[in-house]
Amino acid sequence: SEVMTVQEAKKRANELQGCLGFTLNARNPDGPVEIFFKSKWDIASDPAWTSYRPVQAWGPCGTFWVSAPPDVASKLKPYEARVKNAANKQAEINRIKAEWGSTAATSAALSSALHPAPPAGVTVMHAQSFLKAVEDEYVKGVNQACGNFLDGGLPDSVTAALDPFEGRVRSAPDKQAEIGRIQAEWRMNPENLAAAAAAAEACRPRCGGPGAPAASPAGRTPPGA
């Protein structure tokens, strides 16, 4: 740990190799406080503590590790180390692709592991709308934004599933942080959604690739079209 201001800690976090953020036992301190820099992002709910994470400093790979489920990260971390230590990084990436055999199959498995997971019976669309509604009401001050959403004709089962999460945000001292925790639990934080989209795009069939339909001769219409 080190003693410094929050602004100094933000700069220091960007300079530290492998730093994914920092915590402090204070709320909006004016002066220097004890700062604890972290090499992993694993937050426990405690209203006395504040946590910061320098998302822009991570780069694509660092952002992916924060959002990846632990079992996925543990399997893929050794491959990142191989690329990081390789003299020819592109060649090493190509070797890993060859070892995995079907890059499409690997991407499909990764896409499944990263896919958003809102509460049972709640669609991704409903979850996204709910997260926007709680942020509008409890962070941006839009009167009754969440209540209007929940009372807007949703199935009773969806309302019942989402009510406890509204309660968590309502009672949280740091409402934006609590919304972020819910996003992470549902795998719907921006980093995870970006990684899931990238994985889904990687496993989309392409012309001539695994699972792609055979090209039709020029000027002819494929059967059934």
Report pLDDT for 62: 60
Q: Is the pLDDT of residue 165 over 50?
A: yes
What band does 65 get if pLDDT is binned at 50, 70 and 90?
low
Q: How many angstroms separate the CA atoms of 189 and 179, rounded?
A: 9
Mean pLDDT confidence for 121-139: 87
Report pLDDT for 163: 92
Which has the higher per-residue pLDDT, 8 or 110?
A: 8
Q: Is the pLDDT of residue 119 over 60?
A: yes
Which has the higher per-residue pLDDT, 115 or 34?
A: 34
- Taking the model in full, what pTM does it have? 0.44
What band does 70 get if pLDDT is binned at 50, 70 and 90?
low
Mean pLDDT confidence for 40-44: 64
Report pLDDT for 215: 36
Q: Which of 15-19, 64-68, 103-107, 212-216 has the highest mean pLDDT?
A: 15-19
What band does 138 get if pLDDT is binned at 50, 70 and 90?
very high
Q: Which of 37-46, 109-118, 164-173 has the highest mean pLDDT?
A: 164-173
What band does 77 get if pLDDT is binned at 50, 70 and 90?
confident
Among residues 39, 72, 64, the alpha carbon closest in space to that of 53 is found at 39
Mean pLDDT confidence for 132-156: 88
Q: Is the pLDDT of residue 189 over 70?
A: no
Check: CB of residue 205 under 8 Å from CB of residue 104: yes
Report pLDDT for 167: 92
Which has the higher per-residue pLDDT, 181 or 60?
A: 181
Report pLDDT for 164: 92
Burial of 156 (0-12, 13-18, 19+ CB in 10 A): exposed
Buried b (16+ CB within 10 A) or exposed e, 97-128: eeeeeeebebbbebbebbebbbbeebeeebbb
Which has the higher per-residue pLDDT, 209 or 135?
A: 135
